[in-house]
């Protein structure tokens, strides 16, 4: 039986059972919820209808899309096209591309502010970050940072960016202003080989950066009225830490150590590292449930998702996903976890109440990022 045939059989087995309406949320008639999955190898975004649990449509965007973000204040979705140096703007009400914003060479990530007014795009081959005016759909400033920026992470207070410079093995800390032309780097923290992921604590007082070319994570105390930016510690974790999953309450970070096939736990208040827990092979992403109790880890080479109980400190379940699971996202209610399987080209939906497979939905070639947008239609 081919993989497509097996997928069809599985869908027939899962969907007609009547269980979706039995224990899934009931929505008002004008409720809309869509998941947007960027497909890096075929220049498209797959739109999944998360109310009816089906593929809605496939949209053509720019070349080699690599990242997706939504805004909390409007019905727009933003897709970073690495190959064409652009950002596609999708109107979620119509599920159509509404605009294209030019940025610079090889953009790799996007971060949208809480007001939905500005976005920050790291341009990995231009050594810059583009500042976008989301209302006008245009670039309004360019910030020079280090070499090969892969990620620009916005602090919760909206006052600064943490930029990971992968080729420069450093971290740029950027002050943001009402006048975007005045945005500038205020300090640089060196000594982070292949700087990859970053998180900023909810109080915006501390940042943690994964140095994937090493076995440590940087703990950085961010500038306040008492001190300048300073490196607090290099925290030893496993080999090749590639992703940091922050608990919603900010109390702990879980580090995906890709070469060690482990997850390390960091207490953010003390910057202490707990013991490493073995998960599947090549863990690449993690995400924590809204109630701070469960960590889900996608294991790329194992084709599985590990479920780690934070209170118990152990893996409590391993769920078969698909080939090459990577990007993770919860739906709006948190009762489903979406897993993008980069090698088999579909999205797995896992039921979070039971940590079991619910169904599979088709995507494009090499799905690599997921964003979920929910709203009430007018």
pLDDT in tens, 274-291: 989 999 999 999 999 999
Q: 293-340, pLDDT tens digit by residue?
A: 999 999 999 999 999 999 999 999 999 999 999 999 999 999 999 999
Residues 199, 283 within the same domain: no
Residue 325 structure tokens = 């699971």
Residue 344 burial (CB count, 10 A): 19
pLDDT of residue 8: 40
Contact criterion met (CB below 8 Å) for 289 and 263: no
pLDDT at residue 113 tops 80: yes
Contact criterion met (CB below 8 Å) for 203 and 172: no
Domain limits at 104?
A: 41-236
Question: In this structure, what DSSP letter does residue 223 have?
Answer: P
Residues 263, 342 within the same domain: yes
Mean pLDDT within 118-135? 98
Residue 73 main-chain phi, psi, to 5 deg: -110, -15
What residues have CB less than 8 Å from 6, skipping those under 6 apart? none
Residues 268, 226 within the same domain: no
pLDDT at residue 10 tops 90: no
Surface-to-core class of residue 4, CB atoms within 10 Å of its CB (0-12 exposed, 13-18 middle, 19+ buried): exposed
Q: How far apart are CA 141 and CA 43, in angstroms?
A: 27
Surface-to-core class of residue 271, CB atoms within 10 Å of its CB (0-12 exposed, 13-18 middle, 19+ buried): middle
pLDDT over 90, % of the chain: 91
Contact criterion met (CB below 8 Å) for 307 and 316: yes
Residue 28 main-chain phi, psi, to 5 deg: -65, 160
Residues 161, 309 within the same domain: no
On whether residue 278 sits in a domain, the answer given is yes
Residue the block writes with tokens 């939906």: 349
Residue 332: helix, strand or coil by DSSP? coil
On whether residue 8 sits in a domain, the answer given is no
On whether residue 100 sits in a domain, the answer given is yes
Residues 215, 362 within the same domain: no
pLDDT at residue 111 tops 80: yes
Domain ends where: 179, 209, 236? Answer: 236
On whether residue 10 sits in a domain, the answer given is no
Residues 179, 312 within the same domain: no
Residue 274: helix, strand or coil by DSSP? coil
pLDDT of residue 15: 42
Q: 337-357, pLDDT tens digit by residue?
A: 999 999 999 999 999 999 999
Residues 141, 109 within the same domain: yes
Residue 9 main-chain phi, psi, to 5 deg: -65, -40
Residue the block writes with tokens 């510690």: 233
On whether residue 1 sits in a domain, the answer given is no
On whether residue 13 sits in a domain, the answer given is no
Q: 32-51, pLDDT tens digit by residue?
A: 999 999 999 999 999 999 99
- Structural domain total, the chain: 2
Residues 297, 200 within the same domain: no
Q: Please indicate, yes or no, whether the overall pTM of this predicted structure exceeds 0.85.
A: yes
CATH of the domain at 359: 2.130.10.10
Q: 47-105, pLDDT tens digit by residue?
A: 999 999 999 999 999 999 999 999 999 999 999 999 999 999 999 999 999 999 999 99
What residues have CB less than 8 Å from 169, skipping those under 6 apart? 190, 191, 192, 193, 194, 195, 211, 213
Q: Name the pLDDT band for 228 (thresholds 50, 70, 90).
A: very high
Residues paired with 84 in a beta bridge = none
């Amino acid at each position: 039986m081919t993989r497509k045939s097996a997928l069809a059989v599985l869908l027939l087995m899962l969907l007609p059972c009547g269980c979706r309406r039995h224990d899934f949320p009931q929505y008002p008639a004008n409720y809309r919820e869509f998941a947007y999955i960027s497909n890096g190898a075929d220049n498209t975004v797959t739109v999944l209808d998360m109310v009816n649990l089906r593929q809605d449509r496939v949209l053509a965007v720019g070349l080699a899309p690599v990242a997706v973000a939504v805004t909390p204040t409007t019905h727009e979705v933003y897709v970073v096209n690495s190959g064409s140096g652009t950002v596609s703007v999708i109107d979620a009400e119509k599920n159509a591309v509404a605009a294209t914003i030019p940025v610079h060479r090889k953009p790799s990530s996007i971060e949208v502010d809480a007001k939905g007014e500005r976005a920050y795009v790291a341009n990995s081959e231009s050594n810059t970050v583009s500042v976008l005016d989301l209302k006008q759909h245009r670039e309004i400033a360019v910030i020079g940072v280090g070499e090969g920026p892969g990620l620009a992470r916005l602090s919760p207070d909206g006052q600064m960016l943490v930029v990971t410079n992968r080729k420069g093995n450093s971290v740029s800390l950027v002050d943001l202003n009402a006048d975007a032309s005045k945005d500038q780097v205020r300090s640089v923290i060196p000594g982070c080989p292949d700087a990859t992921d970053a998180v900023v604590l909810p109080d915006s007082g501390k940042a943690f950066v994964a140095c994937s070319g090493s076995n440590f994570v940087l703990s950085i105390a961010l500038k306040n009225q008492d001190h300048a930016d300073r490196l607090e510690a290099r925290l030893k974790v496993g080999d090749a830490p590639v992703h940091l999953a922050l608990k919603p309450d900010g109390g702990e970070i879980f580090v995906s150590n890709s070469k060690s096939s482990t997850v390390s736990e960091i207490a953010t208040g003390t910057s202490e590292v707990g013991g490493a827990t073995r998960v599947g092979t090549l863990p690449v992403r993690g995400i924590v449930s809204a109630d701070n109790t469960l960590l889900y880890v996608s294991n790329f080479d194992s084709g599985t998702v590990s479920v780690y109980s934070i209170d118990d400190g152990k893996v409590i379940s391993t769920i078969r996903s698909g080939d090459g699971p990577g990007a993770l996202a919860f739906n709006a209610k948190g009762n489903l976890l979406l897993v993008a399987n980069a090698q088999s080209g579909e999205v797995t939906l896992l039921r979070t109440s039971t940590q079991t497979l619910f169904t599979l939905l088709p995507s494009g070639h090499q799905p690599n990022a997921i964003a979920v947008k929910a709203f009430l239609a007018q």
